[in-house]
């Protein structure tokens, strides 16, 4: 039985879509589901997909985090081994060369919210709810929550969300600067797809260089960041797409980017 579905979508089929599908437990991920997400991300990393959408099969929950019922049955060494798998899953998602968009409706809590935070962009329905309630269970986020949230909403507010374990509405999350798009539930998929298409229409290597550069340079000392930015810039110079982009501009036509 598969708990995660993978397909290609978009006008040119160059958008990869990962759909979480374990609705009876609000998409809580157990060992098998994490393995599926990890393997799909590995496939996407080697593919020609230009953008990745991560969504849920139902509007009640994006993902409620790790399956604590399964975890409660694990021995200490099994728990640690499972968490190592979860870490690998998060890292593989975050390290994809393609820009990733979390498409969120319903609950995105604990490890589920961390899946969202390990994506590049967030499109959410007004009915979405976010939260990192780990402190209420005697633990803390272990998939990037305390590291990534402050980059989105600022340190002081991130500490509040982390240390209180509060639930946050989509409207509040949007005001805090967490989201890229906020829309109605019935428009969520279309909004996300349109956003993905606006990225996929651009030169893939240039987009990937922008993603990598932004991630690497964030918080880097100024002089070092200036040098490293040019490393990523120079990746784009020697490409067919750079020549095509300039030529298309001169000829006043839409560019035909091929990712070379």
CA torsion sign for 84, 132, 39, 152 is: negative
Our count of domains for the chain comes to 2
Residue 205 region by backbone torsions, left for phi larger than 0, else alpha for psi between -120 and 50, else beta: alpha
Q: Report pLDDT for 172.
A: 98
Q: What is the CATH number of the domain that holds 165?
A: 3.90.226.10
Same domain, 50 and 91: yes
pTM exceeding the 0.75 threshold for the entire prediction: yes
Rounded to 5°, the CA angle 134-138-139 comes to 55
Note the pLDDT of residue 94.
Answer: 97
Helix (H, G, I), strand (E, B) or coil at 106: coil
Token pair belonging to 120: 């590049």
Same domain, 168 and 237: no
Residues 122 and 83 in one domain: yes
Contact indicator for 114, 141 with CB cutoff of 8 Å: yes
Q: What CATH number should be reported for the domain holding residue 232? A: 1.10.12
Q: Is residue 70 located within the same domain as residue 47? A: yes
Q: Do the domain assignments include residue 256?
A: no
Q: Do both 217 and 118 map to the same domain?
A: no
pLDDT, residue 71, reads 82
Pairing mode, if any, of strands 167-169 and 61-63?
Answer: unpaired
Q: Are residues 42 and 153 in the same domain?
A: yes
pLDDT of residue 235: 87
By annotation, the residues acting in catalysis are 114, 134
Is 258 domain-assigned? no
pLDDT at residue 236 in the model: 87
Whether residue 222 lies inside any domain: the answer is: yes
pLDDT at residue 219, rounded to an integer: 87
pLDDT by 10s per residue, the chain, length 260: 799 999 999 889 999 999 999 999 999 999 999 999 999 999 999 999 999 999 999 999 999 999 988 888 889 899 899 999 999 999 999 999 999 999 999 999 999 999 999 999 999 999 999 999 999 999 999 999 999 999 999 999 999 999 999 999 999 999 999 999 999 999 999 999 999 999 999 999 999 999 999 999 998 899 999 999 999 889 888 898 888 788 888 988 888 888 88
Same domain membership, residue 176 and residue 90: yes
Instruction: State the residue range of the domain holding 218.
Output: 204-251
Q: Which two tokens stand for residue 69?
A: 């019922």
In a domain, 259, yes or no: no
Does 244 lie in the same domain as 225?
yes
Residue 62 sits at the vertex; the CA angle it makes with 35 and 80, to the nearest 5 degrees, is 35
- 36 and 88, same domain (yes or no): yes
Residues 6 or more apart in contact with residue 84 via CB below 8 angstroms: none
CB atoms within 10 A of CB 232: 18
Q: What's residue 81's pLDDT? A: 94
Let me know whether 129 and 143 are in one domain: yes
User: Is residue 143 located within the same domain as residue 14?
Assistant: yes
Question: Which pLDDT does position 11 carry in this prediction?
Answer: 87
The per-residue pLDDT for 245 is 85
pLDDT value for 38: 97
Residues 62 and 91 in one domain: yes
pLDDT at 198: 97
């Amino acid at each position: 039985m598969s708990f995660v579905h993978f397909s290609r979508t978009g006008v040119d089929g160059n958008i990869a879509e990962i759909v979480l599908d374990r609705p009876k437990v609000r998409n809580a991920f157990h060992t098998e589901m994490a393995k599926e997400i990890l393997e799909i991300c590995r496939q996407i990393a080697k593919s020609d997909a230009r953008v990745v959408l991560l969504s849920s099969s139902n509007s009640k929950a994006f993902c409620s985090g790790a399956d604590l019922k399964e975890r409660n049955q694990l021995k200490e060494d099994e728990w640690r081994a499972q968490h190592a798998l979860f870490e690998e899953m998060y890292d593989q998602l975050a390290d994809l060369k393609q820009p990733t968009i979390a498409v969120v409706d319903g609950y995105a809590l604990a490890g589920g919210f961390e899946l969202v935070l390990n994506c590049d962009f967030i499109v959410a329905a007004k009915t979405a709810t976010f939260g990192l309630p780990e402190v209420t269970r005697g633990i803390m986020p272990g998939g990037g929550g305390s590291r990534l949230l402050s980059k989105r909403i600022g340190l002081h507010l991130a500490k509040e969300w982390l240390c209180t374990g509060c639930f946050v509405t989509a409207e509040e999350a949007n005001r805090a600067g967490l989201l890229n798009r906020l829309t109605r539930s019935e428009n969520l998929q279309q909004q996300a797809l349109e956003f993905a298409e606006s990225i996929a229409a651009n030169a893939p290597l240039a987009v990937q260089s922008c993603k990598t550069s932004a991630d690497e340079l964030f918080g880097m000392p100024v002089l070092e960041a200036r040098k490293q930015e040019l490393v990523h810039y120079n990746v784009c110079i020697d490409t067919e797409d750079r020549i095509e982009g300039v030529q298309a501009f001169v000829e006043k036509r839409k560019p035909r980017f091929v990712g070379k």
